């Protein structure tokens, strides 16, 4: 899990918060992208490693990583098949905004009512 830095009295950057809300809640696949961010916060991985851990198709992982890279949330090191991905400096600098978004998602999920 992406760990919250304690002792930070800063407020999250508004633009970063809006971007993260869009990427993780405003588009299909947001939950999968959040899972990828969570895994990459633990250790850098390549597409194949992520696909195996998440039990998803390689092409699906590729699609989500492209979206995350396009929005400057992950950075790729290396080329082709073995390239590894890690959290971008931008995301690390705006980790507080990510925590605000995660808390909002958790509140939304806890309020959902399932009708059978």
Which is nearest to 75 in space by CA: 59, 92, 98, 61?
92
7 part of a folded domain: no
1 part of a folded domain: no
The overall average pLDDT reported for the chain is 87
**What are the pLDDT digits (tens) for 32-42?**
999 999 999 99
4 part of a folded domain: no
46 part of a folded domain: yes
Confidence of residue 7 (pLDDT cuts 50, 70, 90): very low
Tell me the residue range of the domain where 39 lies. Answer: 14-111
Length of the chain: 116
**What are the pLDDT digits (tens) for 49-90?**
999 999 999 999 999 999 999 999 999 999 888 899 999 999
Based on the structure, what is the number of domains in the chain? 1
CATH number for the domain spanning 103: value is 1.10.10.10
27 part of a folded domain: yes
């Amino acid at each position: 899990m992406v760990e919250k830095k304690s002792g930070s009295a800063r407020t999250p950057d508004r633009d970063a918060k809006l971007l993260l809300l869009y990427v993780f809640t405003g588009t299909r696949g947001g939950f999968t992208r959040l899972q990828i961010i969570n895994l990459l916060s633990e250790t850098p991985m390549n597409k194949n490693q992520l696909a195996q851990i998440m039990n998803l198709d390689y092409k699906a992982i590729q699609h989500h990583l492209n979206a995350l890279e396009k929005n400057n949330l992950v950075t790729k090191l290396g080329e082709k098949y073995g390239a590894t991905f890690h959290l971008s400096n931008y995301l690390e600098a705006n980790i507080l905004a990510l925590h605000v978004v995660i808390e909002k998602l958790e509140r939304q999920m806890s309020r959902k009512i399932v009708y059978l």
